[in-house]
Amino acid sequence: SQQGEEDPQALSIQEGENATMNCSYKTSINNLQWYRQNSGRGLVHLILIRSNEREKHSGRLRVTLDTSKKSSSLLITASRAADTASYFCATVPRSGSARQLTFGSGTQLTVLP
Amino acid sequence: DGGITQSPKYLFRKEGQNVTLSCEQNLNHDAMYWYRQDPGQGLRLIYYSQIVNDFQKGDIAEGYSVSREKKESFPLTVTSAQKNPTAFYLCASSLDSPVVNQPQHFGDGTRLSIL
C-alpha cells in the first residue's frame, strides 16, 4: 500500500523559480526521506528528516516536516534545468513488523531553460 | 569509486523462462533491497536482506526469488510464475536498517521486457 503521496503529480517551472513539492502520509513515521530520479536512472538520496525534526537544509534544498498534519514539503530554490527529474518521498513507519521504506508515486518536475 | 552495479541494463524474457538480475555493491553495506518500478509509479519492495544468509519478503514477492550468500551480492530471479514481469528493477543497499535512519543507495536499474 502507498504510504506517501506526492502533490502535484507534475510541475513545470522556469529556470530560476522555486519549486515546491508536497508529500502526505497516513501512519506515524520514524523518518521521511526524499529521493530524486533522473529518467531511466536509479534514485539518488537527497535528504532524510527524522520524526522529531521540523526542517532540514541541504544546499538549495529545504525540507519541512509537520507530523501533526502528516505531511512534508520539498523546496528547491533557484531551480536549474538540471533539476528536471522525478522526486519521491519515502517513509519508514514508526511501528509494525516490517519497517521498510514505502515510496510515493512521485512528482515529475520540469525546469524550462 | 564505491557503488552499486546492476546488470544487465536491458533484459528480455521468453515465456516460461526464469531470468536472473545481478546486483553487486562495494559499499560494505549490510542491507540490500530489490524494488520494482512500473511506468509513472513509485517503487514497490520485492525482497530485502538485512544480513548475509537472511532475506525477507516485501510487498510483492510472489513470482520472485533471491539469495544472499555474500555480503556484496543480492541476485534476483524472476520466475515463470511472475505473469507480468515487464518493469524497471532497482537494487539498493544501506549501511543498516531504514529504522535507524539510514538512506539507501541505488543502482541504475535493469529494464526487463517480455519477448
Per residue in A33-82, pLDDT (tens digit) is 999 999 999 999 999 999 999 999 999 999 999 999 999 999 999 999 99
Q: Which residue has the cell 536472473?
A: B20
Nearest CA in chain B to A46: B103
- Rounded CA gap, A100 and B48, in Å? 9
pLDDT band for position B1 (50/70/90)?
Answer: low
d(CA B80, CA A66): 44
pLDDT for position B90:
98
CA nearest B89 in A: which residue?
A42
- For residue A11, is pLDDT > 50? yes
**Residues of A whose CB is below 8 A from B45:** 100-102
Beta-carbon contacts of A97 under 8 Å, excluding residues fewer than 6 positions away, are: none
Considering only B7-16, B29-38, B67-76, which range has the smallest mean pLDDT? B7-16
Rounded to 10 degrees, what is the CA torsion of A109, A30, B38, B106? 80
Nearest to B101 among A2, A31, A100 (CB): A31
Residue B11 pairs with which residues in a beta bridge? Answer: B112
Q: What is the identity of the amino acid at B97? A: S
Q: What residues of chain B lie within 8 A of the CB of A31, using their CB?
A: 98, 101
C-alpha cell at B26: 562495494
Rounded to the nearest angstrom, the minimum Cα separation between B18 and chain A is: 24
CA distance B109 to A77: 29
